[in-house]
Structure 1
């Protein structure tokens, strides 16, 4: 009998009848396969207790386990050491209390499932912009999205969690009262403290009947002056709480293109007013579409870019300004990299959200600091390809882009990064702020996971 048969047979006796165990052939594909684990066993739990038993079994047998829901985060530390993946997707039940406007969701719930559930009740929640991403994967590291301006970060709307620690001990209803230090740490660095099997979050009544204005403008093969004009229009637009923006460098029909997608939660007439600079006809987009979208359709346009598989060792930073000269350098580097065989799908992403609400939270309330809550733009470099022969070139490309952003678009003395987009070697100070904050986080980490069994943001 091989490793799988021995361990699967023993573990199965400890799990519920709804649990499933598969071998290497059942491995769940991740968004980025360049740092994906290669487990000999994947467990699909049927209950929270199955997660407890799976973790205990791994610890008793000297195995390294790793929890995965959506599977999009590329910061998987020491992925080659992972023996067992606990795929949380089977724990995706959602319950909604309409009276108290509270939502309880399983640890494997993805954003599209949550959005559909709350929309059916004419409610909305702070969540991300890609339907297939795990809710808790994005939320525990901050949680930005369409409604950030109205409701703050995802962690600001978290009420409690259930958590399995590195010894397989189950903690129910962890909140600011039960353990203030852990509660401070999990809101921003949650994946480093255990497996969250369930979470409770706030919900809010829909505005404008749930309808929002969405626009997509494509600028095919734009020249330097056009790129500068677009970035200047974005930079000079004041971000109200009902606004957000996604902007990307992508290849469309073989042409390098700038795609700009402003969004407004409200009527079309008001949207056209607040986005007036960007909608200037003189910018002359190659293509422009607008629509009033119901809440459950907001993320559909992003679904193609969230497809699983391939190698996507992304690297993101937080910046203060859209320096046109710097972004023209990035544009040239990006075009150069896309010329590599199989790398034509590579992209640069710029996200902008109103941050006033996120900054209204006390700086001492969570591990996620004001310095990072107030980031003007979250930017990500996505090398996308299939052949590992490009790994070195991809890393050099992403690092060059990161250096430009740090040196020319922000304060190079204080680099900042949104945790969910951090590269695997990003210093903790860049994610969590000053040295004192990181030291506090490390103290809590040593109390809850002294062996650093959950690597995540920390080196083993």
Structure 2
């Protein structure tokens, strides 16, 4: 266990003036409390060297540390072993080079902060869809989001990183030319190799004056479920589109409902034409509008709220099977009725155009699930830990239905950011050769398995 007094007396002098060290009562909450660390000490570094010195000190003291930016990491493996959290949130500077359209951001930057900085310069970036999520936490897993159709994955737009390894050594400007293997592995499994303290990414001129069409289509009557599923499956997705398909309890009644959240980067008349097949089904509620780029993710803010227990699972699937989704809907309604504390539970299917992402050489990064048509997640959400077993059983039941009815036979793929606690490497990185290369790099950079994250050293 970390000794706060030793950290305050011995580590503090090695850090920059504004760096802070606090007790466990100053820890930063996480999105999912079911596997959150309970650190004795939380350190708030202000610069790359602060991070490096903290890792070195933790190693000298024989304690485990863990980096946190937004705190939304899907699952924290080995959470009971973590004594020290290195909270990067105060390392959130965002510098925009308008001429090169390159943006350099600190490791604690949130999606909202990056988008605000980019839109202020009339630029747009490939990033996630939740404002409160850490940019790098999402990006290092691949980084899916609305602008995938135009710019590919977030990692496809990553230019360089600063990186602290398991010994506490700082490596600056890591890129394709400095270390080809590490660069390959960071892009898709970065959290398994160290702490990325800074990144430089490519940005692009804003589209349609920074405006896009979005909103919510709510079907309060589940009788149209199969028609909605078929319509989403049959959408002709161009690069300006994306869709989120949800089961959730929505206000004001908080009854289970079917929701479609459409998006179109273009004028409203073109958007309504592109989404005609879904709009024609007659949603109970239609709330659509033209959103400025810096407000585009606001509708997802409730989902990003921290706290509660959320032992979710995710998967990459090939289709939304209508019969399977009827079964899933029935199980979802039953789970809510039997567990009133779980009323915020949600199931989400996200679909993005993949042509741009698939145009990138499959072997250029460790990321291996570019071809999944949908990324799906099941999130039981509750507060009473006595529900853990029931919630996990429910989530695994839904996952098994997806595998059996919505995936190609024998193909189980999972996006790392949505992966469950013990997701096998075969689901995350698919090909044996890719996994072998990844493990060889892991053994080089973290032979003692100091960073557990997605994998353990064999």
TM-score by length of 1: 0.97
Corresponding residue of 2:319: 321
Corresponding residue of 1:384: 381
Q: Secondary structure at the match of 1:342?
A: helix
Shift of 1:329: 1.2
Corresponding residue of 1:46: 46
Corresponding residue of 2:397: 400
Q: Which range moves more in the overlay, 252-261 or 448-457?
A: 252-261
Corresponding residue of 2:177: 177
Corresponding residue of 1:32: 32
Contact 2:58 2:64 in 1 (8 A): yes
Shift of 1:366: 0.4
Shift of 1:220: 1.3
Corresponding residue of 1:349: 348
Q: Give the Cα separation in 2 of the matches to 1:332 and 1:199.
A: 44
Shift of 1:207: 1.1
Shift of 1:341: 3.1
1:96 partnered with 2:96 = yes
1:386-418 alpha-carbon deviations (Å, 9 max, x no partner):
010000011100100000001100124110111
Shift of 1:6: 2.7
Q: Give the Cα separation in 1 of the matches to 2:407 and 2:240.
A: 25
1:423 partnered with 2:413 = no
Q: Give the Cα separation in 2 of the matches to 1:425 and 1:33.
A: 17
1:143-174 alpha-carbon deviations (Å, 9 max, x no partner):
01110100000000000000000000000000
- Alignment equivalent of 2:446, drawn from 446, 449, 459: 449
Q: Report the number of matched residues.
A: 454
Q: Secondary structure at the match of 2:137?
A: helix
Q: Give the Cα separation in 2 of the matches to 1:322 and 1:132.
A: 28
1:66-102 alpha-carbon deviations (Å, 9 max, x no partner):
0000011122110000000000001000101100010
Q: Which range moves more in the overlay, 175-184 or 250-259?
A: 250-259
Shift of 1:426: 1.1
In structure 2, stretches of 5+ residues that fail to align are none
1:329-352 alpha-carbon deviations (Å, 9 max, x no partner):
111111122121311110101101
CA distance 1:342–1:140, change in 2 (3 Å) = same
In structure 1, stretches of 5+ residues that fail to align are none
Q: Give the Cα separation in 1 of the matches to 2:177 and 2:183.
A: 8
1:25-83 alpha-carbon deviations (Å, 9 max, x no partner):
00110000000000000000011110011000000000100000001112211000000
Q: Secondary structure at the match of 2:356?
A: helix
Give RMSD over aligned pairs: 1.2
Spell out structure 1 runs of 4+ moving beyond 4 A.
none
1:162 partnered with 2:162 = yes
CA distance 1:216–1:410, change in 2 (3 Å) = same
TM-score by length of 2: 0.98
